[in-house]
Amino acid sequence: MANKTFSFFYKIFDKSVGSLSIRHTLPLIIVTPLLASVAVIGWFNFQLGKQEIEKLMLQVSEKSTQMIELNLRNYLGKPQVLLPAYLAAIQSGNVDINNLPEVKRYFWQQIQNKTSLNSIYIGTEKGNYVSYEKTENEFMEKFRDESTNSNRNFYEVDSKGNRTRLIKSMEYDPRVRLWYKFAKSVGKPTWTPVYQFGSINTVGMDFSIPIYNQESGNFAGVISTDISLVQISKFLRNLEISQNGKALIMERTGDVIAISTLEQPFKVVNNQTKRLNVRESQDPTIQGTGQYLIEKFKSLDQIEDKQQFTFRLKGNLQLVQVTPLQNQEGIDWLMVVVIPHSDFLKHIYTYTTLTVIIGVSVAGIAVILALLLVRWIIKPIEQLQQAAETIESQNFDQSILEEVSRRRDEFGQLGKVMSAMANVIYSREQNWKQMIDQLQNQDLQKQKTKSGNNSQKQVKNLEVLLRESQQLRTKIGEKDKNSRN
């Protein structure tokens, strides 16, 4: 069975290359499988690499999302832990919210702690307001009561909490502010919707807790702290996703909470701060991803659990992971991570190109070696062929086979055998030539001898004819004489 199979393939091979010269066939036989192997290996490496890259991209997107969620929960969790602790001290009777000097002392003690919140403020139903803020090593007090004439005074304070100078005074009523009204309406600890801070270049949100009188149960005020959305964006910018990977946190309305690009999550139009919607982003990837999400899910409210999918943005494949972030305090956001496939595929292209370069280099070396091998094989064959032609033309030259005969391989053995055979053939031809010459000489002698015998016979025949002719003439002459007489 094996022999039949081999014979079958040999016939196909012989029909394919049997008419070609060894000079061309041998390099082709050596290089073709090598190039085919390089191409197949490169293709399989590329495909396997793509699969591994897709797994890696999913891992990166998942890890990035987990880091974003962890940071957000820590960032949001700090107010959710510390503010209730401050409120517990107030409700335990240690601090009376209507005794503003007492509130100030308590807040000042808390704000100096390195692990404290950056801002603490309280507003009461009477319109009183106390706030402390810290930025690095500087502290600011904000205060409003009956003595400030409905204004909120800004004071610079020293390391002991003493006021050093009045910075400014502005009309202010805490009871009409979002952080106060929203907590009062919800009736429990809550995060407010995003809104514009006092500076038009800052938007953020507050974590507020309503305060109720322990005896009467009546609403008494709100204790609150705020966070800036810019801080979340700074974290996203420092997040390592991929070279062109993007991260986005947005509300289900499409309004941006934070973004990993240099773009701010808000824009200022005519001195008015407006929330940035994902479809209005100047970044093509963020804008395209937001548009695709809205088209895919019709409404972002439909996203209830983690989603992973790919889509093409201007011909480039993008991996997107969308993960909801929710808590009991009113947070309901979407964390979005976008990773272009090209960020990882370029490594595959690099490795594939390197494989091709190595393969082509090896193929080039193989071609050179094949040509040398062809030369090594063809040269003795040509010398053997030349020797055979001289033998055929009876001009055999022993020196033709000297180089081949010196080789130690099969060609050398063949050259020696052919040289001996040529000598035998040459000797035989010389003997045959001598024998032919002798035969030819003998034949000539025979022909000469035979030619002499024939001449004698001809002479004798001529003599007989002459005699008969003379006899005939004599008879004719005698008859003439008789007739005349």
Q: Which domain holds residue 268?
A: 51-75+232-343
Q: What is the pLDDT of residues 397-408, one digit of tens each?
A: 666 777 777 777
In a domain, 147, yes or no: yes
Go through 384-411 and write b for each residue having 16 or more CB atoms within 10 A of its CB, e for each that does not: beebeebbeeeebeeebbeebbebeeeb
Does residue 252 carry a pLDDT above 50? yes
100 and 220 belong to one structural domain: yes
In a domain, 251, yes or no: yes
Please name which of 240, 247, 266, 250 lies closest in space to residue 324, comparing C-alpha atoms: 250
Neighbours of 92 (CB within 10 A): 9
Instruction: Label residue 54 exposed, middle or buried (CB < 10 Å: 0-12, 13-18, 19+).
Output: middle
224 and 109 belong to one structural domain: yes
Please name which of 231, 235, 239 lies closest in space to residue 339, comparing C-alpha atoms: 239
Q: What is the pLDDT of residues 16-54, one digit of tens each?
A: 555 556 666 767 777 777 777 777 777 777 677 667 777
Does residue 189 carry a pLDDT above 90? yes
Going by C-beta distance under 8 Å and a sequence separation of 6 or more, which residues neighbour residue 446? none
In a domain, 334, yes or no: yes
194 and 255 belong to one structural domain: no
As a whole number of angstroms, the distance between CA 370 and CA 363 comes to 10
Going by C-beta distance under 8 Å and a sequence separation of 6 or more, which residues neighbour residue 396? 387, 390, 422, 425, 426
183 and 252 belong to one structural domain: no
In a domain, 83, yes or no: no
As a whole number of angstroms, the distance between CA 448 and CA 456 comes to 13
66 and 128 belong to one structural domain: no
Amino acid residing at 23: R
The pLDDT confidence band at residue 200, using thresholds 50, 70 and 90, is low
Higher pLDDT, 15 or 368: 368
Domain count, the chain: 3
220 and 103 belong to one structural domain: yes
Higher pLDDT, 473 or 454: 454
CB of 262 within 8 A of CB of 91? no
Q: Domain boundary residue among 195, 229, 263?
A: 229
Give the up-direction half-sphere exposure of residue 99: CA atoms within 13 A in the CB hemisphere. 8
Higher pLDDT, 230 or 309: 309
- What is the rounded average pLDDT of the residues 470-475? 51
215 and 240 belong to one structural domain: no
pLDDT at 246: 92
In a domain, 27, yes or no: no
The pLDDT confidence band at residue 484, using thresholds 50, 70 and 90, is very low
As a whole number of angstroms, the distance between CA 72 and CA 80 comes to 12
- What is the rounded average pLDDT of the residues 178-193? 94
415 and 439 belong to one structural domain: yes
Higher pLDDT, 474 or 175: 175
**Percent of the chain whose pLDDT exceeds 90:** 33
The pLDDT confidence band at residue 229, using thresholds 50, 70 and 90, is confident
Domain CATH code at residue 236: 3.30.450.20
Does residue 9 carry a pLDDT above 70? no
175 and 273 belong to one structural domain: no
pLDDT at 485: 41
pLDDT at 407: 75
Going by C-beta distance under 8 Å and a sequence separation of 6 or more, which residues neighbour residue 187? 210
What is the residue-wise DSSP string for 56-116?
A: HHHHHHHHHHHHHHHHHHHHHHHHHHHHHHHHHHHHTTSS-TT-HHHHHHHHHHHHTSTTS
225 and 239 belong to one structural domain: no
100 and 225 belong to one structural domain: yes
Nearest 10 degrees: Cα torsion 257, 263, 268, 274: -30
In a domain, 166, yes or no: yes
Q: What is the pLDDT of residues 453-469, one digit of tens each?
A: 555 666 566 556 656 55
Does residue 253 carry a pLDDT above 70? yes
In a domain, 243, yes or no: yes
Does residue 202 carry a pLDDT above 70? yes
Does residue 471 carry a pLDDT above 60? no
As a whole number of angstroms, the distance between CA 391 and CA 28 comes to 33
pLDDT at 323: 95
The pLDDT confidence band at residue 483, using thresholds 50, 70 and 90, is very low
pLDDT at 439: 75
107 and 184 belong to one structural domain: yes
Does residue 298 carry a pLDDT above 80? yes
- What is the rounded average pLDDT of the residues 239-243? 88
pLDDT at 201: 67
* DSSP-derived 3-state class of residue 296: helix
pLDDT at 467: 60
CB of 236 within 8 A of CB of 245? no
The mean predicted confidence, pLDDT, of the chain is 81
Q: Domain boundary residue among 328, 343, 358?
A: 343
pLDDT at 466: 56
In a domain, 267, yes or no: yes
For the entire predicted model, the pTM comes to 0.67
Q: What is the pLDDT of residues 325-340, one digit of tens each?
A: 998 888 999 999 999 9
